[in-house]
Structure 1
Amino acid sequence: MAKTANFHFDQFLAEATIDTNDRSDSALGRDCLYGLYTSWCWLQQSAPHPESLFWAALRTKGIHPAGNGLAMTGPAAADYILASCPALA
């Protein structure tokens, strides 16, 4: 994987997630985490990488779809929540 792709995913994790150390089902699941990533990309005005590349990159960082301990934060979290539940807007 290219160095710029690694930086891209590192930046996403730093700006849009926090580690709660909660490895239970309350952490972000597969669909939510990728959805958060696409919201973050939209706000960054960059095209999201395909989901397969996203998960491959996160696996190299020890992050897996289930029990990852991540929660969402920041503007991408707000965008994702509003896009997922338009009645809240």
Structure 2
Amino acid sequence: MSELSLIAEEIREAMTTLEKTQEAGNHLVEDLTEENYAAFLSQMSEMCERLQRLKQMLARGDAVASDELAGALARSFDLPESEYRRVDAHG
């Protein structure tokens, strides 16, 4: 798997984890129990870990071309890729 594919997959996983965290937060608001609180804390912890991992991936990589990342994200989400044209800053 290429670095861009790994980044795109990590973004997709972070978004899924965010949705689960929001769901756990809603359950906590609706019914404040120790079980719901523990579930919310667990999801928050997982979300923080995923975001930290994504931050590290983005920080250590060279500048990622946005068009290439967009293509990798489209593949990760099983979406059609947009047509794009690379623009050379020197020409």
Q: Same fold (TM over 0.5)?
A: no
Higher relative contact order (CA 8 A, sep 6+): 1
* Greater helix proportion: 2
- Bigger radius of gyration among the two: 2
* Greater strand proportion: 1
TM-score, structure 2 normalization? 0.26
